[in-house]
Amino acid sequence: MTVLEQFSMQGQVAIVTGAAAGIGRGIAETFAAAGASVVVSDLELAKAEEAAAAIRQAGGQAHAAVCNVTKEEDRVQLVRTAIERGGSARLNTVPW
């Protein structure tokens, strides 16, 4: 059994902020590989869409969203997006 199989996220929705590049993107890709439907969020929608497209191309499930985590209205909308995509979000990361 692989590590990803041991930590299956099948049926879960994961919100990852700062997910267009670097550590955030790596987290988003790993969650998707483990079976999660990932909301790939970043300050720049085009970059988030690029990362989400790469995840989908690799066989994962991903949706891009824009979010500035310092703004409450953006955070609220991000959670709404996650709920629309799969029920409820159980994971959230904010890499600095």
SS3 37: strand
Q: What is the pLDDT of residues 6-41, one digit of tens each?
A: 888 888 888 999 999 999 999 999 999 999 999 999
Q: What is the pLDDT of residues 49-82, one digit of tens each?
A: 999 999 999 999 999 999 999 999 999 999 888 8
Burial class of residue 22 in the structure, from the number of CB atoms within 10 Å of its CB (0-12 exposed, 13-18 middle, 19+ buried): exposed
- Closest CA relative to residue 32, chosen from 50, 16, 49: 16
CATH fold of the domain at 9-93: Rossmann fold (3.40.50)
**Exposure of 73 in the CB half-sphere (CA atoms within 13 A):** 0
**Domain coordinates of the chain in residue numbers?**
9-93
